Amino acid sequence: MNRPTDQHANESAGRGAHVLAFSAAFVALLQVCAGAMVTSIRAGDAEPDWSPAHIFRWVAAVFGGAPDGLWYELTHRVIGFTLGLLTLSVAVVLWRREPRRWLRRLSYFAVLTVCLQALLGGLRVKLISDEALGDFAMSVFGTSNVYPIKIGIMLLHAFGAQFLFCLLVTIALALSSGWVQGHHPGEVSDKTRGTRKLLAWTLAVVFVQLLLGAYVRHSDGDGVLVHVLGAVVVVTMVFVAAHQTRRRHPSVWPIWHQLGLAKFLLFLQVFLGIVSWLFMRGGFEWAPPWDISMLVRTGHVANGAMILALLVAATCRGHKLLRTEEEDRRASRGDVSMPGVELDAASERGASA
């Protein structure tokens, strides 16, 4: 199947697909928040029956006023089902209309990730509700306690949620008009490689810190000291990245503007983290939906995801807007597509998925 390569086709794909991809990224953020709520009130086992065939029953229960714990768990599943449909829709639209091969492949990978997320979520539920499956898992891992296996699946599930969010943010960014039409200022610099590495390391540190936070939540406070030390590293890395990016590339404001916003959110994140820990240690509980502890913890998770999204955007723009002198010379000759730089539609003329 031939792909559109002219400027009009590229813009058309960007306009329609950008809204869809942005919607999918937003729903992915809602899904992360819903998962945090379920974890906070320990509602993951509220509905032991897990099958996508029951989606309409779940929807009816959500809108029909299910009990509190069950409502949160079923809402989490319904949002996940919606996210799966949106992610698949993004992939189909890009498959049909997007000229950039790497972006099409990224959307396919997002579909694979959301499917794995559904499987992990179902496995985590059935591991507890299905005694035979639990016994089988314990025999495979050589343990007499299913709890460590459950924690491992939860962490994989948390990793997949954040990873899928990163994928969808990247796709939505690459489909934006500023990216496609090149509205933002770029720069050729001998400091490009160093800046890209700094941004990538900062993104990796933030991602690992979110996984540490997921472990602390799922294990009722274990590993909190490591999480605190990770927060110190994250704050340091983000501030260094923001300062160095602005100093090295003062004209490329989209990158260091986003890092500046991430710095602001970090202050909020530290505050929410401290309050969350105080609630956890104090054992404060309120009846949902006005469980303040749950809302604070969910805010902590949501704010962390927003910081991650900003770092993803900054890192992507570091590859889009910054070039080394060698990359600029090779790109000007048009001999190859530059690694890390936006693929020119002309270089993929006639390409297939």
Strand-pair partners of 188: 323
SS3 of 125, please? helix
pLDDT at 285: 57
Burial (CB count within 10 angstroms: exposed 0-12, middle 13-18, buried 19+), residue 193: middle
- Residue 20: is its pLDDT beyond 90? yes
pLDDT in tens, 130-172: 778 878 888 888 788 878 888 888 889 989 999 999 999 999 9
In eight-state DSSP terms, residue 338 is: P
pLDDT in tens, 30-57: 999 988 888 877 777 767 777 766 777 7
Cβ-contact 1, 351 below 8 angstroms:
no
pLDDT at 53: 67
* pTM reported for the whole predicted model: 0.85
pLDDT at 288: 54
**Closest Cα partner for 91 from 17, 164, 180, 166?**
17
Cβ-contact 265, 303 below 8 angstroms:
yes
Q: Within 10 Å of residue 84's Cβ, how many Cβ atoms? A: 19
Q: Within 10 Å of residue 178's Cβ, how many Cβ atoms? A: 12
- Give the C-alpha separation, 202 to 311, whole Å: 8
Give the H or E element holding residue 67: none
* Least confident window among 40-44, 89-93, 143-147, 323-327: 40-44
SS3 of 42, please? coil
The first and second tokens of residue 333, run together, are 């000759």
